[in-house]
Amino acid sequence: DTEVTQTPKHLVMGMTNKKSLKCEQHMGHRAMYWYKQKAKKPPELMFVYSYEKLSINESVPSRFSPECPNSSLLNLHLHALQPEDSALYLCASSQGDRDRSYNEQFFGPGTRLTVL
């Protein structure tokens, strides 16, 4: 199974709502990533979990809260978002850095988020 799954595919939320994005992989990867992508732009790194610990936070606003319950799951909790947060949110995974693997990232299909 070389697939990263993300739910939901689409999400519309108001600025006062609380919602969560979910990501799952069963490739035994120990690094998992959240990216934000605007139309026709490259993915922007938000968070990296390595061996279930937060290893990179790219100065993301606190209205985004990541969580890694176990080695296969990654969540992104959303609260009090702004319209400019509307984007495609991509999850990815790769082998952990302790493996010194040079392998690629595997991306999920993304969640299209619209904040009204």
Partner 1 sequence: AQSVAQPEDQVNVAEGNPLTVKCTYSVSGNPYLFWYVQYPNRGLQFLLKYITGDNLVKGSYGFEAEFNKSQTSFHLKKPSALVSDSALYFCAVRDIYNFNKFYFGSGTKLNVKP
Q: Which residues here bind partner 1, judged by CB under 8 A?
A: 4, 6, 31, 33, 40-43, 45, 48, 50, 55-56, 88, 90, 92, 94, 96-97, 100, 102-110, 112
Phi (first) and psi of residue 84, to 5 degrees: -70, -10
Tokens of 40: 């026709």
CA 59 to CA 24: how far, in whole Å? Answer: 24
Find the shortest distance in angstroms from Cβ 108 to partner 1: 5
DSSP state of 80: S
CA distance 69 to 42: 28
C-beta of 27 vs 80, nearer to partner 1: 27
In whole angstroms, the minimum distance from the beta carbon of 4 to partner 1 comes to 7
Which is nearer to partner 1, 84 or 104 (by Cβ)? 104
Task: Fill in the DSSP letter of residue 25.
Answer: E
Quote the least distance from Cβ 99 to partner 1, whole Å: 9
